[in-house]
Structure 1
């Protein structure tokens, strides 16, 4: 949990801005750091379950991986109880499904406002590369915002439920200036540091202009990476992502489809059927390739010189091929 708080105070986030304010208050209150007791949010604690489930698909199982909650690179049990999602743990589940021979396809079941940028880019690239090994689909069920959209858009096909929303393509960070609150509470903070910029962004002091410019440059860099990844994932120009696709806003299912942010509108059951169909088509295509290769070998053997030894070897090979 302390790791999550450190992330929150210093790192850019690919998350809905209103959720960032909520998480800030929630995590600080969870460890007794909130100096404003009247503003502590009322939250029902629940266990975050993101385990994979398998769905039979005729031609092999489909692993349905739940991407639910606010994503952070890693968290503990308390963080998960507060609704955080460990990207490291999710990546392990994804890799296990990818190498499992009994799994023919993977579906990302996404319901997330995004999260910390740490780990998002790497997981999105991993999902993108996996498309060449197995069919990987994603569905916003019902929210894929910001960092969650970054990852889901990396799938080979991406859908949104009829009442769902996608988007929030952007990066945000927050500086908590607690200096006045600490002063009113009678707390005096003495900071001792080395390094010209070591205290940039410290919550016990206001954010200076130089520090603000540096934070903005970090946000811009992550946003650029976000835009490039989405353009690659969706097969569109960079300008299309920057100047369209909601420009940081969420879009409903129909508009998101028109903007090219998703492939279509579908329930999760419909997406499972689409993925099962894709798996069947892939197996049929592979069987056709194998049959064509076998026929080419048969034809090549039939054209070999007609010496006795070679003819005998060719006849034996033809018998083996035709008996497969």
Structure 2
């Protein structure tokens, strides 16, 4: 059973901070005293997320997790991201994109919601359906923006960067970790029963099971990850109104940025001194405005014209 669980986790690419993937593997195997799990337990994310939820008002009608306050529909995206509900989303505080998508549509349809605020505190997650959800965010018929209370990294930044209304950040918020990884292993010795797993692929499918002990086999996997990363970077560039080269060279190169450094790099639009409460109050007072993406795109177009 444990082999099947690990195979399921390691059969897919992830856009997540590396330490969190180690914790997901340990939690899935119920090794709750693993150092990766203990490190997350003590990082304060649970208290931070509970505090954020307490500021969001009351449950929005017709939703599972969305909230409503002062005409602002709030869509929380907290914890590791998965494409659909599973044991991690039900019992370990992870986020489900199928639930988030349903809640987003409900907020868009509600006459009580003037604007939508995604409240993000997530290290990222599985790649599956992330780009589809990012497109839903980008195409929202109602104004939608993002506030980061803790982490907005990897898959979460992939999604958050698509918000037309831009991104605000707690002074200690963290963004970035742009990139894709996969966790895997290969057998170097026979197992306890004296057996060694062997898989043979058909003649015309040598890359179905690449030999990960060789540079050539690793290159096959890396090529697949690079293809997903290209889509990730294209989405971020389009959402933030910058070039792909800017994302590759100035958005952390797989690392993270915080506070003023994140704003200086163009990864977020403002540092919210009063945190989530300040972001909600600002949106509640604000009237219609030109979407940040439109303004950024106009600036980029002007720069390209001037460059020749």
What is the TM-score normalised by the length of structure 1? 0.72
Quick one: structure 1 residues 4 and 241, their matched pair in 2 at CA, closer, same or farther if it must change by over 3 Å? Answer: farther
What is the TM-score normalised by the length of structure 2? 0.76
1:110 is matched with which residue? 120
1:53 is matched with which residue? 67
1:93 is matched with which residue? 103
1:17 is matched with which residue? 18
Residue 149 in structure 1 maps to residue 167 in structure 2? no
Q: Is the 8 A contact 1:137 1:275 kept in 2?
A: no
Aligned residues: 264
Q: How does 1:1-324 map to 2 (within 5 A)?
A: 5-27=6-28, 29-30=29-30, 41=37, 51-55=65-69, 57=70, 61-77=71-87, 79-130=89-140, 133-155=141-163, 156-178=165-187, 180=189, 183-186=190-193, 188-191=195-198, 195=202, 196-197=205-206, 200=209, 206-266=212-272, 267-278=275-286, 280-281=287-288
Deviations 1:271-291 (A, max 9, x none): 11222233x346xxxxxxxxx
Q: Is the 8 A contact 2:175 2:257 kept in 1?
A: yes
Structure 1 runs not aligned, ≥5 long:
283-324
Structure 2 runs not aligned, ≥5 long:
54-63, 290-308
> Equivalents in 2 of 1:147, 1:53: separation in Å?
22
Q: Is the 8 A contact 2:81 2:125 kept in 1?
A: yes
Deviations 1:120-169 (A, max 9, x none): 11111110111xx2110101111101110111111122111011111111
Q: Is the 8 A contact 1:168 1:249 kept in 2?
A: yes
1:322 is matched with which residue? none
Q: Is the 8 A contact 2:73 2:116 kept in 1?
A: yes
> Equivalents in 1 of 2:161, 2:36: separation in Å?
35
Which structure is higher in helix share? 1
Quick one: structure 1 residues 83 and 178, their matched pair in 2 at CA, closer, same or farther if it must change by over 3 Å? Answer: farther
Alignment root-mean-square deviation, CA? 3.1
Larger-Rg structure: 1
Deviations 1:156-211 (A, max 9, x none): 2211101111111111112123554xx3533625556653347616xxx8544443
> Equivalents in 1 of 2:123, 2:36: separation in Å?
21
